C-alpha cells in the first residue's frame, strides 16, 4: 500500500512539474531570471525515490550548466538543459521501486523496463509542454550514445542535440560516483579515466573536453 501511495504521489508530482515548467519558461522569456526553487525541490523527491541520499539531480544540473557555458551554448539552451537535468529521471516514477533496490546487477528483463524511463519521462512532459519544446526531447535522448548504440532511438553523433550529449556525460559520471547495492562508488580519478576512454564511442569528445575545462575552472 505504501508503495502504491508513493507512486501516485510521484505521478502527481510529474504533472505539477510540467505546469511549473511552463510558468518558469514564460518568466524566463519575459525577464530572463527564472526561479527554479520549486523544480529543484521536487527533483529531490525523485532522487529520494531512486534511493539517493544527496541531491543527485541538482548536482547534475550544476555540472551540465558549467559544461554548457564552457562550450559556449546560448542561454535558452542552457535553461532547457538545466530543467532537463533536474527532471531527467522523472519517467522512473512509473517503474516499480523494487527494481532499484535489488542487491545485484539487473537482469535483462529489468533493464528492458528501466530503459523505458526516457520515453515515459518524455510522454509525461509532452502532454503539457508545446510540441516544439526542447526539454521533453532532451529527456528522451539523454541515454543516446555518440556511436549510435544508445537508446531509445539509436541516434548517432550530431543527430543527438548537444544538450542531450552533455546530459548523457553528467548522468554517467554521477552514476559512477554513487554506491550501488551491487558495487562501490568510483573515485574521481577512475571516473575521469572511464569517460576519456569512452570519448568518441559512448560520448561526444567535445563534451568530455568541456567537462575537463569546466572542472579546471572550478578548481582555480
pLDDT in tens, the chain (220 residues): 444 444 545 555 555 555 555 555 555 555 444 455 556 655 655 655 555 555 678 889 999 999 999 999 999 899 889 989 988 877 776 666 666 666 667 677 777 777 888 888 888 777 665 554 788 999 999 999 999 999 999 999 999 999 999 999 999 998 898 877 667 889 999 999 999 999 999 999 999 999 999 998 887 7
Q: Looking at residue 41, what is its pLDDT? A: 58
Which cell goes with 41? 525541490
Q: Looking at residue 32, what is its pLDDT? A: 45
Q: Looking at residue 62, what is its pLDDT? A: 93
Q: pTM for this one?
A: 0.77
Domain ranges, ordered by start, for the chain = 2-219
Q: Looking at residue 77, what is its pLDDT? A: 93
End-to-end CA distance of the chain: 51
How far is it, in rounded angstroms, from Cα 200 to Cα 203? Answer: 6
Give the other-Cβ count within 10 Å of 9's Cβ.
12
8 A C-beta contact, residue 93 and residue 13: yes
Closest CA to 109 of 96, 118, 121: 96
Whose cell is 574521481? That residue is 188
Give the other-Cβ count within 10 Å of 6's Cβ.
15
Q: Looking at residue 212, what is its pLDDT? A: 94
Topology classification of domain 2-219: Hypothetical protein af1432 (1.10.3210)
Residues 6+ apart with CB under 8 A from 174: 56, 59, 60, 63
Amino acid at each position: 500500500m505504501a508503495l502504491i501511495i508513493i507512486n501516485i504521489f510521484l505521478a502527481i508530482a510529474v504533472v505539477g512539474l510540467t505546469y511549473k515548467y511552463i510558468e518558469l519558461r514564460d518568466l524566463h522569456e519575459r525577464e530572463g531570471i527564472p526561479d527554479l526553487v520549486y523544480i529543484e525541490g521536487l527533483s529531490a523527491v525523485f532522487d529520494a525515490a531512486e534511493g539517493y541520499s544527496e541531491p543527485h539531480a541538482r548536482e547534475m544540473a550544476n555540472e551540465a550548466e558549467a559544461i554548457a557555458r564552457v562550450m559556449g551554448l546560448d542561454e535558452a539552451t542552457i535553461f532547457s538543459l538545466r530543467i532537463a537535468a533536474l527532471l531527467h529521471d522523472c519517467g522512473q516514477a512509473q517503474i516499480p521501486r523494487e527494481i532499484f533496490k535489488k542487491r545485484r546487477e539487473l537482469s535483462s528483463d529489468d533493464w528492458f523496463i528501466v530503459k523505458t524511463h526516457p520515453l515515459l519521462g518524455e510522454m509525461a512532459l509532452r502532454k503539457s509542454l508545446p510540441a516544439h519544446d526542447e526539454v521533453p526531447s532532451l529527456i528522451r535522448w539523454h541515454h543516446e550514445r555518440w556511436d549510435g548504440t544508445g537508446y531509445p532511438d539509436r541516434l548517432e553523433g550530431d543527430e543527438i542535440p548537444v544538450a542531450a550529449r552533455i546530459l548523457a556525460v553528467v548522468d554517467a559520471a554521477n552514476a559512477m560516483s554513487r554506491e550501488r547495492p551491487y558495487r562501490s562508488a568510483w573515485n574521481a580519478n577512475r571516473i575521469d579515466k572511464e569517460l576519456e576512454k569512452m570519448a568518441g564511442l559512448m560520448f561526444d569528445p567535445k563534451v568530455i573536453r568541456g567537462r575537463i575545462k569546466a572542472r579546471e575552472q572550478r578548481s582555480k
